[in-house]
Amino acid sequence: MRAQPPASHFINGSYQEDPHGRPIENRYPATGEVIARLCAAGSETVNAAVAAARSGFRVWAATPAAERGRVLRRAADLLRERNRELSELETLDTGKPLQETLVADAASGADCLEYYGGLAATLTGEHIDLGGSFAYTRREPLGVVGAIGAWNYPIQIACWKAAPALACGNAVVFKPSELTPLSALKLAEIFKEAGLPDGVFNVVQGYGETGAHLVEHPDVAKVSLTGSVPTGTRVAEIAARTLKHVTLELGGKSPLIVFDDAHLDNAVSAAINANFYSSGQICSNGTRVFVQRGLKEAFLERLTERTARARLGDPMDESVDTGPLVSQAQLDKVLGYIEAGRREGARLVCGGNRATVQAFPDGLFVEPTVFADVVDHMTIAREEIFGPVMCVLDFESEEEAVARANATEFGLAAGVFTRDIARAHRVIGALHAGTCWINTYNLTPIEMPFGGYKKSGIGRENGHAAIEHYSQVKSVYVELGDVASAY
């Protein structure tokens, strides 16, 4: 099983290699097999990518916005035409089941390119009547955008960053995670085929030092990162030295609050999606499930019954809904949190072990795990696990639930389940989170801004809101009369 690209990097419209780069072994998480060998970009390769982006930017920024939109929409069409091929590649890269990648990865990226392709020609300024004179504004691109992706949704994240950046007229240098390097290269090929000028979208592979070279480069005007809070903090510190624009989409420990009057099966479905989809490797997951005491035991009983139906196995089998974790390091981290839950007194309801899948003895599988009787001070209730581990906490009153839900350094997402619509809006209004849901969870349409409060990030992805983070406004005052002067 191989997925070896022609070379590691895509710069100025062609594949390139860095013969001195640090090796990257790309492994299939279901088997441990090496499916591709690449090399990291050193500082010279990063410099070449940024130089290509600067040249591409001059061409792309001068391209009429309507034509920019057409290129993005053609790229969206190509993504949809090749969805199965791209989904299989994403499954090899991440270990996520094909059942998921067929609908949630390249397909979401296509939606994003289509949305911003339609928006590009509408990004106009405004006329301001001042009586005897007037002013107008121009919305202009920033320049070169350095974008750094995460390993859980590689091609989706690449599109979420590239689409608004390109719609505004910027050029992009994208660095995927070293764990999932492949699909960004395919996206670069598709952009070129769709008519994007050379140098406007470039891909460099690498570890943290490659990302640091990109962030600190003086010709990069903006940095967009999806990653952990510690990584986001380092990126913000480096970017601050040259006052770069920054968007940070970081981690979370999000609350999902289930009131006694909630629809039981819908709430259980949301909790499953919010904890076990993508084997729990989603930043916005609702991993603190607060269930009102009157519903707690019925909720746990139904949750246990349905979690037992999870199908672990070959990620390429479309009947399988639970795949492996992305890496050995992630597996070890998740198993360590499960052990901490046991040690600190949480009640293990189901799961709790590394899973054995007969045909995949080296696969990085973990059983979907539920802890009950979790209290706020426990490690599993405070720290982001990024694995299939659900913490169920119980509460008595609305005020208690809100206070405890907000008692975290994170603020990425939150959800509320109740049939009382007034309470739903009241609770959502009181929660300190940037992306919220009522009677559902983790739906992120491109039209809706996505991002967090507090340590969960700065700025927004998607929707009209993202345009503000990839463009700048120039104000122009036009005098129609004479100019007065004191002397």
Choose, from 39, 112, 168, 283, the residue flagged as catalytic: 283
Q: How far is CA 92 from the centre of its chain?
A: 19
Choose, from 90, 96, 161, 350, the residue flagged as catalytic: 161
Scanning 257-327, the segments in alpha helix (DSSP H) are 264-276, 293-307
Residue of 78, 59, 74 whose CA lies nearest to 12: 59
Q: What is the helix (H) or strand (E) element at residue 159, kind and residue range? A: helix 154-167
Other CB atoms within 10 Å distance of the CB of residue 344: 15
DSSP at 450: B
Choose, from 100, 114, 178, 249, the residue flagged as catalytic: 249
Q: Which amino acid is at 49?
A: A
- Phi, then psi, of 94 in degrees rounded to 5: -105, -25
Q: What is the helix (H) or strand (E) element at residue 110, kind and residue range? A: helix 106-119
DSSP at 395: E
Known catalytic residue at 344: no
Q: What is the helix (H) or strand (E) element at residue 288, kind and residue range? A: strand 288-292
Query: Between the CA of residue 474 and those of 137, 228, 464, 477, what are the distances in Å?
Result: 5, 33, 18, 10
Question: First vs last Cα of the chain: how many Å apart?
Answer: 81
- Asked if residues 286 and 264 have their Cβ atoms less than 8 Å apart, the reply is no
Q: Which residue has the tokens 């619509």?
A: 421
Counted residue by residue, the chain has a size of: 487
Known catalytic residue at 249: yes
Choose, from 114, 189, 384, 461, the residue flagged as catalytic: 461
Known catalytic residue at 161: yes
172 forms bridges with which residues in the sheet?
145, 201
In the numeric block, which tokens belong to residue 114? 């289509």
For 410, the 3-state DSSP assignment is: coil
- Asked if residues 220 and 173 have their Cβ atoms less than 8 Å apart, the reply is yes
Other CB atoms within 10 Å distance of the CB of residue 219: 15
- Asked if residues 464 and 123 have their Cβ atoms less than 8 Å apart, the reply is no
Q: How far apart, in whole angstroms, are the C-alpha atoms of residue 105 and residue 183?
A: 10
Known catalytic residue at 383: no
Q: How far apart, in whole angstroms, are the C-alpha atoms of residue 375 and residue 116?
A: 43
Q: How far apart, in whole angstroms, are the C-alpha atoms of residue 269 and residue 300?
A: 12
Question: Which residues are the active-site residues?
Answer: 161, 249, 283, 461
